[in-house]
Amino acid sequence: MADSNNKRFFSLSDITGRIQAILQPHIGKLFWVKAEISSAREKGGSFYCDLVESEEGGKIIAQMRCTIWSRDLDNIKRQFKEYDLDLKLDNGTAVGFQCSLQFHPQFGLSLKAVGADPAFALGELELKKKEILNRLTKEGLLEPNKHLTVPMLPQRIGLITSKGSAACNDILKTFSSSGFGFSIFLADSTVQGLQAERSVLNALNAMEKFNLDLVVIARGGGSKTDLFYLDNEAIARRIAGFKYPVWTGIGHETDISILDHVANRYFKTPTAVAEDIVARFVEMKRHLQESQNRFRSTWSYRFDRDRVWLDDTKTGIVQGTRKLLDSTRGYLLGYATTLSSKVQNRLTEEKSRIAVSRKVIATAPISQVKRANERLKERTGRFTTSYKRQITGNQKDLLNLKSRFQPERFILRIRQEKECLWDWRDRFIQRFNSKLHLQEQQVRHLSRRFRLETIVAHIGNEKTKLANKAATLRAVDPATSLKRGFSLVYTAGGDLVKSISQVNSADTLKTEIGDGQIISTVNKTERK
C-alpha cells in the first residue's frame, strides 16, 4: 500500500475554481445546440430540462442540464407566434436551442438557452410553405378560383399529370370504366423535382387554349419531401388567376399542399377526383331514370283515365244529341201554338182600343179648351192677390229698416269704438314701459355683481386658499419627514412595520430614508 504522505490532495473548491478559470473565457458565448428534451418541467415561469443525445439503439451518449429563464422563454414563444406556431417543449421533442455555458462551483456545468429556431422545429420546407400561404392569404388569392362555377356535368376535362404514372392510369381507368363519354385533354407534366414548377406552368398555359369545363392537377403518393415540390408560389398564383376551375388530387392523406388551398376543390387522391366527377354522372343518370319511371307511370295513369273519359263522352254526345233534338222539337211546337193564340188575342184588343180612341178624339179638344180657360182665370186671380200682398209687406220692411238704421246712431257707435281703441293702446304702452324698467333694473344689478374688481379679488382669495392647502400637504408628506431624519421600515413583502410582532429573526427588512434605501437582515428583536 502506497504511503499517504507522498500523495498530494486538492480541495474540491480548488478543483472547481480551476475548472471555472479554464471555462471563464467561454462563459457567455452563444452557440446552437441540437438535442432532445428530457426530464422537462416548468416552474415559476422558467423551464428546466436535460438535453440528451441518443444513439440509434436509444442509448444516451451525452447529457447536460439546461435552463430557459422566464424572460427568454417569453421571447421564444413570441418568436414562434410570429410564424403561427405553438412552442411545445415535451420529453422527446427535438429542438434547436441557442445556448451559452454556465458553471457554478456548487451546481456544476449547465446550459442556458436564450433562443430557439422555429425552422428547426417545423422544418425548413414546412416553414417556407407557411410563409407562402401567409402571403397568398394577405393578398386574397385563396378564394378567386373557388368562386368559379363548375358545370353540373363536366365532360371536357384537362388533366395535368405525369403520363403513364399510377395517378394518370387510375384517373383514365375510372373514366373509361364509368361508361360515360368524357373528353380528356392530357398534358404530360413533371409533378415533382426541380422541373415541376416550369412543367406545370407550361401545362396550365396550354390548357387555357382549349374550351374546358374543368382542369385537374394530379400526382400519386410519395414521401413528404416530394410533396413540397407542389408547395410552389408561382403555380399557386397562376391557379388563382386561372380562367377555369382547378381541382387537385395529390396523394397525401394527412397533408394539404399550397395548391390545395388555392384550388377550387381538393381531394386526397387522384382516384377520388375521377370518382367525384363520375359520381355526378351516376347521380344524374339515377335521377333521370327515376324521373323517366315517374313520367311513364304518371302518363299511363292519365292516358287510361282520359281514354275512359273520351269513351264516356262519345257515348254521351250521341245519346244526348238525340234526346236534345226530340225535346227541342216538342218545345218549339208548343211555343208556336201559344204564340199564334196570343197574336190573335192582341189583334182583337188593339181593334177595340182604336174604336174607343176615335170617339175620344172627336170630343176631347172642346172639353180641354174649356178646362184650360178656367185654369187661366184662376191662376190670374191668385197672381194678382199674391203680388199685392208682397208689395204691402216690402213697404212695411223698408219703413222698419229706415227706423233702425239712423245715421246718428252709427256715428255714436263709431266714437265709442274709437275711444275703446285709444284706451287699449294706453294700457299696452304702460305695461311695456313697466317691463322695460324692470329689465333695466336687472341689468344694473348683474353689472354690479360681475364687476372686474370683484372677480379679481375672488380669484386672489382662492389662490391663497390653494397655497395654504399645498403647504399643509407638503408638511404631512412622508418624504418631508424622511428629510428631517425620520425613516420608514418595510418587510420583505412590502408591508410597513408598525409593531415588533411583525418581525422575526433572519427576516429581511427594507429601510427607506431621505436619499435612498437600506436592505438589512434581523439578528435579534427586543420588545419594550
Cα–Cα dist 165/170, whole Å: 9
The angle, 0 to 180 degrees and rounded to 10, between the axes of the packed helices 233-240 and 124-138 is 30
Cell numbers that stand for 114 in this block: 436564450
Cα–Cα dist 263/394, whole Å: 110
Closest CA to 188 of 161, 227, 170: 161
pLDDT the model gives residue 447 = 62
Q: Which residues contact 474 (CB under 8 A, 6 or more apart)?
A: 480
Q: Where are the beta strands (DSSP E) in 279-409?
A: none
Q: 28 phi and psi, to 5 degrees? A: 95, -15
Cα–Cα dist 402/404, whole Å: 6
| DSSP codes, 454-495 | HHHHHHHHHHHHHHHHHHHHHHH-HHHHHHTT--EEE-TTSP
Closest CA to 32 of 121, 110, 95, 108: 95
pLDDT the model gives residue 380 = 72
Cα-based distances in Å from 341 to 327, 338, 347, 354, 391 = 22, 5, 10, 20, 69
- Locate CATH 2.40.50.140 in the chain: 12-122
Spans in the chain with pLDDT lower than 50: 1-2
CATH for 126-284?
3.40.50.280
Contact between 189 and 215 (Cβ < 8 Å): no
Query: Residue 516 corresponds to which amino acid?
Result: G
Q: pLDDT per residue over 441-473, tens digit each?
A: 776 666 666 666 776 777 778 888 877 777 777
Contact between 175 and 182 (Cβ < 8 Å): yes
pLDDT the model gives residue 161 = 92
Pick the CATH number of 12-122 from 2.40.50.140, 3.30.230.10, 3.90.1150.10, 2.60.40.3620: 2.40.50.140
pLDDT the model gives residue 235 = 92
With cell 415540390, the residue in question is 229
Closest CA to 63 of 98, 38, 43: 38
- Locate CATH 3.40.50.280 in the chain: 126-284
Q: pLDDT per residue over 379-402, tens digit each?
A: 777 777 776 677 677 666 666 655
